[in-house]
Amino acid sequence: MNPTPFVPPATGTAGTTVYRRLLGYAAPYWKVFVVAALGMSVYGATDAGFAALMKPMLDGSFVRRDPAVIRMIPLLLIGLFLLRMAAGFLATYGMSWVGRRVVMRLRGDLFHHLLRLPVRFYDAISSGQLLARFTYHVEQVAHATTSVVTILVRDSLTVVALLAWMFYLNVEFSLIMLLVGPVIALMVRVLTRRLRRVSARIQNSVEDVSQIAEEAIEGNREIKIFGAQGFEAGRFDRANEANRRANMKLIATNAVATPLSQLVAAVALAGVIYLATLPSMLADITVGTFVSFITAMLLLLPPLKRLTSLNAILQRGIAAGESLFALLDTRTEADTGTLHPRRVRGAVEYRSVGFTYDVSKGPVLEEISFRVEPGEMLAIVGRSGSGKSTLGSLLPRLYDPTTGCILLDGIDLRAYRLDALREQIAWVGQQVVLFNDTIANNIAYGCCGAPEEARIRAAAEAAHAMEFIERLPEGLATRVGENGALLSGGQRQRIAIARALLKDAPLLILDEATASLDSHSEREIQAGLEALLRDRTTLIIAHRLSSVERADRLLVLDRGRIVEIGTHAELLARDGHYAALYRTQFRDPVTP
């Protein structure tokens, strides 16, 4: 087995690949994009227009005192800036519109992808890290797609328009300006690698911060009781500090880059002024030409400044995009089957099934072979850590066996469509998960179409949940809080059982489903369940042996292997593992 199945193949993610993929997200909105780009071009042209106005203004009004020019210039100026305003609005609004769409689609794709990722993926990553990607990383990408494009299009157009005007005015001066280009380009190249590295470090630190915060929120009770405030505060402060440091590195890099490029530009400006004021030159050019040229040069500085800071935003976006695309490229659950039966009979067979979570830790299940007939109830017992839950989780294909295979109605599980297979299975897990919603919606969770209340009520009744639900002021409409925090452990468990019963599937897996209940309630539920379980295949996992005595057969697991299988009476008569387990529990005064 591949020990790291979820590290996506190294694609040699050059920045351009990532950026092209990001632009792919913007592609459907190309019409808005074109309008925005048009706005940007007009905006850029108005800068050159302003510089160009300088020439007639000075030569026409101040030098030649032409009355027509004197009247025209102020009007032209206002007109120019009105145009600039409209174009600027179109450019900013249009690009941001595209950017927000990109964020929404990217986030949506991420979430939809997340829903189809295998359990193994979730075993390997913390939810805090994942959440950081949904918030911080996506925003970085949004910033990159919009700001970068805006700056790139608008400011480079501005630069081109200004340069064109400058060349028109005076070729020699302009050539001096152009010498600056390669110097700035070189600087940008040197900075790029550093920026990308620092950006990746910022991202990781954001993930760490959110992971630690999330754990502290979830574990607030443990932190209090185990007095771990100091420990958690220290852990958080370190991550927080690492985040600050990484950010400062980015800021420092930027803070050096921008003034440095301006200095280079200023040197060129000084050169031009020096040349222009040489006595040999002064005769050739008018005041208007000179001022217009200098204005254009000064106007060149802000877009140049933005173009150099562009790299930082771009690198941050690319680093974030890389990690988002790595997530999007993570393989989803294998789902190549085609069968989708309406309702299976429920014959289950494990054939020499072996399973390994982690190659370095060795197999958790080995050579597991057994059959369960339709309608049969098979109990799985064994010591903690012997692999019972793992065995159960293979049936809905939360994991696939490493060796061997599992058959349902005589057909390999992998031949069924994943959704169709899971439709046949109801499950109460060892850790009950409830959603922050009403009790009724938690019981009806995943049911297509809202089932009538009578059915919900019947399921709750069978799970003996109705007795406590009725005592709640809002009954079935009571909200349970995050993960059912407002309910007791046993109440949560009964809701989970009701949820499984409402699903009415031919296969039922109960993993310690009644472990949080007192023996009396457990017996009552089991009596109620008996009728319901008669026509479905049930795998029931329990530590409390008294709760599984009535199973048709019992399977005893020990360190991942089946050591015994048979009825309660047979196993007791055999006087092996089961009999020993049973005797210990019988002597245990806590377990009746």
Ligand X SMILES: Nc1ncnc2c1ncn2[C@@H]1O[C@H](COP(=O)(O)OP(=O)(O)OP(=O)(O)O)[C@@H](O)[C@H]1O
Per partner kind, with CB cut-offs from 5 to 8 A, the member of ligand X, Mg ion, none near residue 384 is ligand X
The tokens of 140 are what? 């970085």
Report the partner that residue 385 touches, choosing among Mg ion, ligand X, none (CB closer than 5 to 8 A by kind). ligand X
CB closer to ligand X out of 322 and 512: 512
Q: Which of residues 395-454 bind Mg ion (CB under 5 A)?
A: 430
- Rounded Cα distance between 466 and 457, Å, is 7
Strand order in the sheet with 561-566: 425-428, 507-511, 537-541, 377-382, 553-558, 561-566
Per-residue contact string for residues 404-443; x = within reach of ligand X by CB under 6 A: --------------------------x-------------
Sole binder of ligand X in the list 5, 385, 489, 592 (CB under 6 A): 385
Binding to Mg ion by residue 514, rule CB under 5 A? no
Nearer to Mg ion, 207 or 512 (CB): 512
Residue 87 interacting entry, from ligand X, Mg ion, none, C-beta within 5 to 8 Å by type? none
| 534: helix, strand or coil | coil
Query: Residues 6 or more apart from 329 whose CB is under 8 A from it?
Result: 8, 9, 11
Task: Write the DSSP symbol of residue 146.
Answer: I
What's the rounded Cα separation, in Å, for the pair 165 and 155?
Answer: 15
Which partner, Mg ion, ligand X, none, binds residue 387 by CB below 5 to 8 Å per kind?
ligand X
Closer residue to Mg ion, CB minimum distance, 155 or 366: 366
* CA 277 – CA 345 distance, rounded (Å): 97
Site string (348-377) toward ligand X, x via CB under 6 A = ---------xx-----x-------------
Q: Could you tell me if 397 and 418 are in contact, meaning their C-beta atoms sit under 8 angstroms apart? A: yes
What is the C-alpha separation between 59 and 80, in angstroms, rounded? 19
Q: Which is nearer to Mg ion, 27 or 433 (CB)?
A: 433
Choose the binding region for ligand X from 41-49, 62-70, 379-387, 441-449 (rule: CB under 6 A): 379-387
Which of 263, 287, 265 lies closest to 277 in space, CA to CA? Answer: 287
Q: In whole angstroms, how close is the CB of 453 to Mg ion at the nearest point?
A: 34
Instruction: Compute the least distance from the CB of residue 436 to ligand X, in Å.
Output: 25
**191 versus 391: smaller Cβ distance to ligand X:** 391
Question: Would you say 346 and 327 are in contact if contact means Cβ atoms under 8 Å apart?
Answer: no
Q: Which does 306 bind (CB under 5 to 8 A by kind): ligand X, Mg ion, none?
A: none
Residues in the chain: 592
Measured N-to-C along each axis, helices 67-115 and 287-328 cross at an angle, to the nearest 10 degrees, of 10
Burial class (CB in 10 A: 0-12, 13-18, 19+), 573: exposed
Count Cβ neighbours within 10 Å for each residue of 57-86 and write b for 16 or more, e otherwise. Answer: bbbbbeeeeeeebeebbeebeeebeeebee
**Interface with ligand X (CB under 6 A), residue from 390, 441, 491, 493:** 390
Write down the least CB distance from residue 425 to ligand X, Å.
17
Q: What is the largest CA-CA distance in the chain?
A: 121
Q: Select the residue interacting with ligand X from 384, 410, 471, 473 (CB under 6 A).
A: 384
- Total number of residues that touch Mg ion (CB under 5 A): 2
User: Please, are residues 195 and 250 in contact by the beta-carbon 8 Å criterion?
Assistant: yes
Q: Rounded to the nearest whole angstrom, what is the least distance from the CB of residue 557 to ligand X in the complex?
A: 7
Using the rule CB under 5 A, which residue among 292, 311, 389, 442 binds Mg ion? 389
Closest to 192 in 3D by CA, of 99, 305, 319, 10: 319
Q: Is 386 in the site for Mg ion (CB under 5 A)?
A: no
Q: Does 386 bind ligand X (CB under 6 A)?
A: yes
Span from 29-37, 298-306, 385-393, 478-486 in contact with ligand X (CB under 6 A): 385-393
Stretch 220-259: interaction string toward ligand X, x if CB under 6 A = ----------------------------------------
SS3 (DSSP) at 590 = coil
Q: Judged by CB, which is closer to Mg ion: 234, or 385? A: 385
- In the complex with ligand X, the residue whose CB is nearer, 44 or 387, is 387
Q: Which does 386 bind (CB under 5 to 8 A by kind): Mg ion, ligand X, none?
A: ligand X
Sites for ligand X among residues 119-138 (CB under 6 A): 123
Question: How many residues at the interface with ligand X, by CB under 6 A?
Answer: 13
With CB under 5 to 8 Å by kind, the binding choice for 390 among Mg ion, ligand X, none is: ligand X
Query: Shortest Cβ distance from residue 389 to Mg ion (Å)?
Result: 3
**CB of 142 or CB of 541, closer to ligand X:** 541
DSSP 414: G
Residue with token string 């299975």: 425
Measure the N-to-C terminal CA separation of the chain; round to a whole number of Å: 44
Q: Rounded to an integer, what distance in angstroms lies between the CA atom of residue 241 and that of residue 232?
A: 14
**Minimum distance between the CB of residue 396 and ligand X, rounded to whole angstroms?**
14
Query: Among ligand X, Mg ion, none, what binds residue 123 when CB lies within 5 to 8 Å by partner kind?
Result: ligand X
CB of 512 to ligand X, least distance (A): 7
Torsion from C-alpha of 271, 274, 279, 285, nearest 10 degrees: 70
Closest Cα to residue 208, out of 312, 136, 102? 136
* Cα–Cα distance measured from residue 413 to residue 74, given in angstroms and rounded to the nearest whole number: 80
Q: Which is nearer to ligand X, 118 or 490 (CB)?
A: 118
Q: Measured from the CB of residue 85, what is the shortest distance to ligand X in angstroms?
A: 59
CA distance 212 to 205: 11
Give CA torsion, residues 155, 159, 164, 169, to 10 deg. Answer: 130
Of the pair 235, 543, the CB lying nearest ligand X is at 543
* Min separation Cβ 391 and ligand X, Å: 7
- Which listed option, ligand X, Mg ion, none, makes contact with residue 205 (CB within 5 to 8 Å by class)? none
The distance of Cα 307 from the centroid of its chain, to the nearest Å, equals 30
At its nearest, how many Å lie between ligand X and the CB of residue 180?
58
CB of 475 to ligand X, least distance (A): 33
Residue 312 CB coordination number (10 Å): 22
Q: What is the 3-state secondary structure (H, E, C) of 28-74?
A: HHHHHHHHHHHHHHHHHHHHHHHHHHHHHHHHHHHHCCCHHHHHHHH
Q: How far is the CB of 441 from ligand X (least distance, A)?
A: 28
Q: Is 387 in the site for ligand X (CB under 6 A)?
A: yes
List residues binding ligand X (CB under 6 A): 123, 357-358, 364, 382, 384-390, 430
List residues binding Mg ion (CB under 5 A): 389, 430
